[in-house]
Structure 1
């Protein structure tokens, strides 16, 4: 670890997390407003993204904006902020996180980031749970989404020639331990089902409520499943078409 960097070295992976005034400020901000489990998750995601950029051919051959990748990965779960005043009452957590990160960079970088880089940051965070879209975006967006997915899959990441070996995985997780991350994922996403249900019906978050209930322990599960059925997008779309027939010839 260099004197100016808050991040440890990762010699097995042969990567170094970039450190500059903006990245260090974002790291401090993330620590102030999220849990240790989330901070460590984000640092693992940064590390996996950097590893994939170096060793996964489609990314290794691209001219990737590393600062944008690091900031996006580092701040991608600001939508889970423990400082609730940062969050909306009506937006998906990914959108909250993207908005928070964009505002942070606009304020902290003092106009040094142009509109394109700001959009990369926003897209990478907003789309990080939607790989079917993210994979068709810019390399930075792809790298962030893959790095985040890699923290859940590790050496089992379904990539051809997956560069995440067991040894590299162990080094990254050893540097940034999970410290209860699995429980936090369940409790956070079930909490979103409970507190902001309208933001979860059309995405993967609702599945946590269906599996773990609204309290993360099975409570309210059956009622939640029924609520999801009532708000199923297929029913809403087809019901809308049926209702519109009254105004059609």
Structure 2
């Protein structure tokens, strides 16, 4: 079990610095700390599981994964995960990144709230999903030593994270609740608007224009 945070590679390249600056400009302390914890937890799990992955692509994915919740990148009609993925693609498009690498980052961000799929894709996609799961819900909590957990949260504090992240999700998607149809983000709408109800999938099938 990894017990020292300095064993984890944190890339320091021009593209990383630019991505960090962008998060500082358009995000906030909550997103900054959360995104860095997500990277570190994902990287620790990858190293402990002896999984090969690109540290730079994983870190960029972590930095952008919640930017779809911000005013700068939030669309009127797309899932916030897709907004974040599109923001990352736009950012990477002006850098020397291959189409395959760009698609990998896009997939990682777009699928980071999609259990049952993300963990079975490429390593960077799976590790972002696991990093998010650890930081938000404590998934695989005991796989991380107490030393690592303390080191990560001392460097990037959680503060009132549990309550603040729920509110941040709601504030980021409340103007487009229809985008939560078929995914877990409906829970954040219902947390603040208990009477809200998305279409029922079975009703969509029964009421389609098909005769049978």
Normalising by structure 1, report the TM-score. 0.78
Partner-residue secondary structure (3-state), 1:204: coil
Deviation of residue 194 (structure 1)?
2.8
What CA distance in whole angstroms lies between the structure 2 residues aligned with 1:208 and 1:172? 26
RMSD: 1.9
Deviation of residue 54 (structure 1)?
0.9
Aligned to 2:100: 116
Out of 113, 128, 142, the position equivalent to 1:129 is: 113
Aligned to 1:244: 210
CA deviation string 1:222-242 (max 9, x = no partner): 2x1xx32xx1222212321xx
What CA distance in whole angstroms lies between the structure 1 residues aligned with 2:4 and 2:55? 20
Matched, 1:177 2:157: yes
Over alpha carbons, which structure has the higher Rg? 1
CA deviation string 1:79-100 (max 9, x = no partner): 111xx24321000000000000
What CA distance in whole angstroms lies between the structure 1 residues aligned with 2:159 and 2:18? 23
Partner-residue secondary structure (3-state), 1:195: coil
Partner-residue secondary structure (3-state), 2:169: helix
Give yes or no for contact 1:15–1:50 (8 Å, CA) kept in 2: yes
CA deviation string 1:129-150 (max 9, x = no partner): 0021111211111111111111
Partner-residue secondary structure (3-state), 1:86: coil
Aligned to 1:20: 13
Aligned to 1:196: 176
What CA distance in whole angstroms lies between the structure 1 residues aligned with 2:206 and 2:78? 24
Deviation of residue 103 (structure 1)?
0.4
How many residues are matched?
Answer: 210
Q: 1:208 to 1:153 in 2, by over 3 A?
A: closer
Q: After TM superposition, what 4+ stretches of structure 1 lie above 4 angstroms from structure 2?
A: none
Q: 1:148 to 1:173 in 2, by over 3 A?
A: same
Partner-residue secondary structure (3-state), 1:184: helix
Mark the runs of 5 or more structure 1 residues left unpaired by the alignment. 1-9, 215-220
